[in-house]
Amino acid sequence: MSRFSMPARRTLAAVPATAVLVLLPTVASAHVGVSPDSTAAESYSGLTFRVPTESDTASTEKLVVDLPTDTPFLSVTPRSLPGWDVEIDVEKLDEPFEVEGATVDEAPARITWTAQKGHEVPPHEYQEFAVRVGALPEAGTEIVLPAHQTYTDGTVVDWDDPAAEDGTEPEAPAPVFTTTAAAEEEDQPVTEVAGEASGDAAAVDPVGRWLGVAGIVVGAAGLGAAVLVRRRA
């Protein structure tokens, strides 16, 4: 485990209405967001954070993501990103809990990516940061992952605003997703099981194979004895 003030937004007042319609989706997609490859409870999920550089003059040089401590991830494995260093901070939990008979009193609380010289994210470009976490908590749990983006000019953008009750998007929304029902194990068809057994007979039923060979040997011996008796007669 152990290795383990926002840039000023340009005004659209002087932009024609038709241009505004084109720009609005771009502005919305410029937020830092997270895309999980699985939301099923009890599963392990690959999280991808897409981080755009909104500044016209500065580059993104660091990303810090706060991990949940009320429903902590016991496994956090970042994907290697050339030109970036990654560090995971582990902290004590306020309320320890039991996992398979063991008491867990600490968990990953924060993951930090820092750009090496020359690998910062330039203005109007983006980078993706990936990490695999697990296991996800029970279905219906909202996983909020506040992100903090640092620019080369010292500006820090905190993407940590909670969702508004009226459904409107906040100024700097926190990356978030909600867990869903755990995937149910499907029963294998009888034909499939039988097919697997016949294909792996050597590993699945060595006793049955031995008995079959023994039967052949005994049968051959009986046949030999019968031939010998007939010759004597």
Looking at CATH, the fold of the domain delimited by 17-178 is given as Immunoglobulin-like (2.60.40)
Q: Is the pTM of this model over 0.85?
A: no
Of 193 and 74, more confident: 74
Q: What are phi and psi of 65, to 5 degrees?
A: -120, 125
Q: Domain segments of the chain: what residues?
A: 17-178, 190-232
Q: Are 43 and 134 in contact (CB under 8 A)?
A: yes
pLDDT in tens, 142-195: 999 999 999 999 999 999 999 888 878 889 999 999 999 998 754 444 433 333
pLDDT higher than threshold 80 for residue 131? yes
CA dist 231 and 233 (Å) reads 5
% of residues, the chain, pLDDT over 90:
56
Determine the Cα–Cα distance for residues 9 and 106; give it in Å rounded to an integer.
40
Mean pLDDT of the chain: 77
